[in-house]
Amino acid sequence: MKLNWRLVLVMVLSLGLMVGCTTDEEEEVPVGTFDDVSTYMQDNGLDLPEMLIDWVIAGSGVVGTDDSTIADYTVLDIRSATDFAAGHISGAINTTLGDILTAAEGNAAGTNGYLVVCVTGQTAGHAVMALRLMGYDAKVLKFGFSGWNTTFEGPWAGSTGNNGIGHANWTTGADPGRSTYDHPDWESETTDGAALLAERVEAALAGGFKAVLGHTDASSVLEAPANYQIFNFWTMDEYTTFGHFDGAVQLKPISLVDDELTAIDPSLQGAIYCFTGQTSSMVTFWLNVLGYDMSSIKYGVNALNYDALYTAGKPTWHGAASYGYVTGS
């Protein structure tokens, strides 16, 4: 039989086109990962130790000559509209945690940047970390509006105590040691560091305030520590001196450079705590940006071993000031 070379050539070319199409369709598209955002953050001074420099300031350090105002800051108040109307710092702008970046974009920073106000100084930690990661100069008003005037001190005044003392799940025992885990496994359509970080920050803001109670509630961390992987953001000396949740791992410092993050299992819900819940709120948001499922333990150890902290001169709630405020929207 005579071979039809023209037909063979057509078949070969057709096969080549099919292979070519298949190759194009299967070509891998670059994706952004934990490593990409980690590298970008390290290269741009956004590692956690740098984010926790000069991030909080007391009312006494910012109150103006007119004691209902704050000088040299643009004040962003993220409390509810109802709370804001009941009393706020003169000139403050009422916004929400989720809209904090939009509020900063639409309102020029004061000479010293932005000051974020919430009820207790804890939710503000999320907002300030978001602002700082996006390049804004921002601080938390220490103890929030609860510390501004005694009229509003209820949330903090009612949340200190020694609930851990004598409890079976509160101990001064040795640290159980760290296990080692892989980094969070997530992907993004962008590999550009700045765009990737912005995407991660927006996602974390959309998740709202991530916090759990450490005390009093039946489902609190103290009652059921095994429900969480718990991390103590203290020095080891503080960890053993003042006590900790049973099973809690001492995890300070935390840095991308030294990769302490491998101590956190990204597949489990985590809870991290400090003295007052304010620092841990900052840390929580930073970790969630990186892809961890972390919550801050509200009020920290001020709710669990207050007397010992106070006696030792550690950060504790010490009552509200009597600065002025205005009402209405």
Query: What pLDDT does 20 receive?
Result: 47
User: Phi/psi class of residue 70: alpha, beta or left (left: φ > 0; alpha: ψ in -120 to 50)?
Assistant: beta
Residues 95 and 124 sit within 8 Å (Cβ to Cβ): no
Query: Is the dihedral angle over the CA atoms 308, 233, 126, 267 positive or is it negative?
Result: negative
Give the separation between CA 322 and CA 240, rounded to whole angstroms.
36
Query: What pLDDT does 26 receive?
Result: 59
Q: What is the pLDDT along the chain (329 residues), one digit of tens a residue?
A: 333 444 433 343 444 444 444 445 556 778 999 999 999 999 999 999 999 999 999 999 999 989 999 989 999 999 999 999 999 999 999 999 999 999 999 999 999 999 999 999 999 999 999 999 999 999 999 999 999 999 999 999 999 999 999 999 999 999 999 999 999 999 999 999 999 999 999 999 999 999 999 998 888 999 999 999 999 999 999 999 999 999 999 999 999 998 889 999 999 999 999 999 999 999 999 999 999 999 999 999 999 999 999 999 999 999 999 999 999 99
Query: Is the dihedral angle over the CA atoms 209, 102, 51, 78 positive or is it negative?
Result: negative
Query: What pLDDT does 217 receive?
Result: 85
Task: Give the tokens for residue 119.
Answer: 């009820």
Query: What pLDDT does 259 receive?
Result: 86
Q: Which of 137, 148, 89, 95 is nearest to 114 (CA)?
A: 137
Whose structure tokens read 């970080």? 197
Q: Cis omega (within 30 of 0) on the bond before 266?
A: no
The 3-state DSSP class for residue 328 equals coil
As a 3-state breakdown, the chain gives helix, strand, coil percent values, each rounded to 5, of 40, 15, 50
Q: In the chain, what are the domains? A: 34-153 (3.40.250.10), 170-311 (3.40.250.10)
In one letter, which amino acid is 33?
T
For the chain, the distance separating the N- and C-terminal CA atoms, rounded to the nearest angstrom, is: 94
Task: Give the tokens for residue 127.
Answer: 């907002």
Beta bridge partners of 271: 230, 295
In one letter, which amino acid is 329?
S
Query: What pLDDT does 258 receive?
Result: 85
Residues 170 and 16 sit within 8 Å (Cβ to Cβ): no
Query: What pLDDT does 25 receive?
Result: 54
Residues 276 and 70 sit within 8 Å (Cβ to Cβ): no
Query: What pLDDT does 16 receive?
Result: 47
Q: Provide the Cα torsion 78, 80, 84, 85; round to 10°.
A: 160
Query: What pLDDT does 30 receive?
Result: 81
SS3 of 4-18: CHHHHHHHHHHHHHH
pTM of structure: 0.91
User: Phi/psi class of residue 200: alpha, beta or left (left: φ > 0; alpha: ψ in -120 to 50)?
Assistant: alpha
